[in-house]
Amino acid sequence: MSVTCKPVTPDLIQEALGFYKEHYLPNDPLLKAVGCTEMTHVDRHSTLSYLQEGLSWCAVDKTTGRMVGLQINRCVKIADLPDVAPTIDYVRRGWSRKLSSILCLFDSAFDTKQILTTYKVDKLMRLFALGVHCDYKKRGIATELIKRSMHHAAQDGVMLFAVLCTSAYTKRVCENQGFDKVKDTSYSTYVDETQSVLYKDIDVEEPHTAATCYVKRL
């Protein structure tokens, strides 16, 4: 493979932000379906803060030197979580209403504190975003990025790796790597806090019809 995987160091953060904007957001199945593929100011701020944690990985073409894959990771510690998870008003924080509804769905599909408590660990590594350039798909890049991330998380003393998949392709990688499925949240039947079936009229392309939470002990 003419691609090498390496950590996203400070000098690569701006390129990583560009890759996230150009190759992850436009291709996420749920974001495409609801028309939220543009990077907003608040999205950029959050993504930048995750990249600055120094836990993310990228794939680079050895010949051209350009970034062709990106996995953004963040570490979540139980000590940093409130005793009772608050209902977050994402709109007040600057997110659009469409994106706010997606983030609420993600909160429902991925209960961080419950996962940490169930698996009896005090912290986990969470995959925030995983994308591969369309010209480099089906080369095992996503699998290699996840492997590298898990290996280095374990070296740092993290005992659990968690992923919320919105793409069936990422689900396949997780299953092939021996992850346990924790929860499936179907888009067509998800009910929000007002008891509305939020995405019943949204056409999310097959086979990307649910957000699925996976975990793996390291």
pLDDT category at 181 given cuts 50, 70, 90 is very high
pTM comes to 0.89
CB contact set of 2 (below 8 Å; sequence gap of 6+):
61, 62, 63
Q: What is the mean pLDDT of residues 174-188?
A: 92
Average pLDDT for residues 156-181, to the nearest whole number? 96
Average pLDDT taken over every residue of the chain: 88
In order of 36, 41, 112, 173, 210, the CA distances from 204 in angstroms are 13, 25, 25, 20, 9
Categorise residue 140: left if φ over 0, alpha if ψ from -120 to 50, beta otherwise. Answer: left
pLDDT band (50, 70, 90) for residue 164 = very high
Q: What is the pLDDT of residues 99-151, one digit of tens each?
A: 677 777 788 889 999 999 999 999 999 999 999 999 999 999 999 999 999 99
Please report the pLDDT score of residue 49 as a whole number.
96
**pLDDT recorded at residue 180:** 96
Residues paired with residue 5 on neighbouring β-strands, in sequence order: 59
Which position has the higher pLDDT, 89 or 24?
24
Q: State yes or no: pLDDT of 31 exceeds 60.
A: yes
Beta bridge partners of 61: 3
Which DSSP state fits 43?
H
For every residue of 73-111, DSSP letters joined together read EEEEEGGGS-SS-----TTTTT--HHHHHHHHHHHHH--
Q: Answer whether residue 196 shows pLDDT above 90.
A: no
In this prediction, residue 43 carries a pLDDT of: 84
Write the CB contacts of 103 (distance below 8 Å, at least 6 apart in sequence). 88, 90, 95
All structural domains of the chain: 3-217 (3.40.630.30)
pLDDT on residue 152: 96
Return the higher-pLDDT residue of 189 and 215.
Answer: 215
Give me the pLDDT at residue 87, please: 60
Residue 82 has pLDDT above 90, yes or no: no
The answer to whether residues 166 and 211 touch, using CB atoms and an 8 Å cutoff, is: yes
CA distance 51 to 40: 16
More confident site: 99 or 71: 71
Give the pLDDT of residue 135.
95
Decide if pLDDT at 201 tops 60: no
pLDDT > 90? residue 33: no
Least confident of 12-21, 27-36, 87-96, 100-109: 87-96
